[in-house]
């Protein structure tokens, strides 16, 4: 990366760049390190592909162009995967909305907004079962204990 210069637009004098001061370079490095640390925490906590993508973009200048291009294509392909979208919808319905796994399939099939991921209950179930073995560090969905009966 080029750390020694910054873009300064001065139309009257036609001067377009100047050297960074030591304080400006330190402030820039501190800001980048803080952002990368936040992205790292986000990635480690949830394996969020958006965090990984942002970290990759931050490091773009430090790697060969072919490596960056290949990684970007791979991540974007994963983000546009309809099976992954269906999986995330089912997990959301189960983990955050408190639905059973069968109810989660139904909920996901009714509430999907991505046109490429639309499908019925069986489609949601097949996608969930396809993606589930690939996902690390997520506890398997266990049957919920029966709810107490109302009197």
In the chain, where are the structural domains located? 5-63, 82-134
The verdict on pTM exceeding 0.95 is no
Q: What DSSP designation does 11 have?
A: T
The mean predicted confidence, pLDDT, of the chain is 80
Q: What is the pLDDT of residue 1?
A: 40
Q: How many CB atoms lie within 10 A of CB 125?
A: 20
- 15 confidence band (pLDDT: 50, 70, 90): low
Bridge partners of 19, per DSSP, are 5
What is the mean predicted confidence (pLDDT) over 63-79? 83
- Out of 49-53, 105-109, 120-124, pick the least confident: 49-53
Q: What DSSP designation does 60 have?
A: G
Q: What is the pLDDT of residue 123?
A: 92
Cα end-to-end span (Å), the chain: 69
Closest CA to 84 of 42, 40, 135, 145: 135
| Phi–psi pair at 15, nearest 5 degrees | -110, 125
């Amino acid at each position: 990366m080029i750390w020694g210069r910054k873009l300064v637009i001065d139309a009257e004098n036609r001067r377009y760049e100047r050297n960074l001061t030591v304080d400006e370079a330190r402030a820039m490095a501190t800001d980048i390190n803080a952002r990368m640390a936040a992205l790292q925490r986000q990635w480690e906590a949830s394996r969020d592909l958006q965090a990984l993508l942002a970290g990759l973009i931050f490091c773009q200048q430090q790697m060969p162009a072919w490596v960056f291009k290949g990684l970007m294509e791979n991540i974007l392909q994963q983000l546009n995967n309809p099976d992954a979208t269906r999986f995330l919808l089912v997990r959301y319905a189960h983990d955050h909305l408190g639905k059973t796994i069968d109810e989660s399939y139904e909920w996901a099939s009714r509430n999907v907004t991505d046109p490429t991921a639309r499908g019925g209950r069986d489609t949601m179930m097949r996608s969930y079962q396809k993606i589930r073995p690939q996902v690390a560090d997520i506890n398997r969905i266990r049957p919920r204990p029966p709810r107490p009966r109302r009197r």
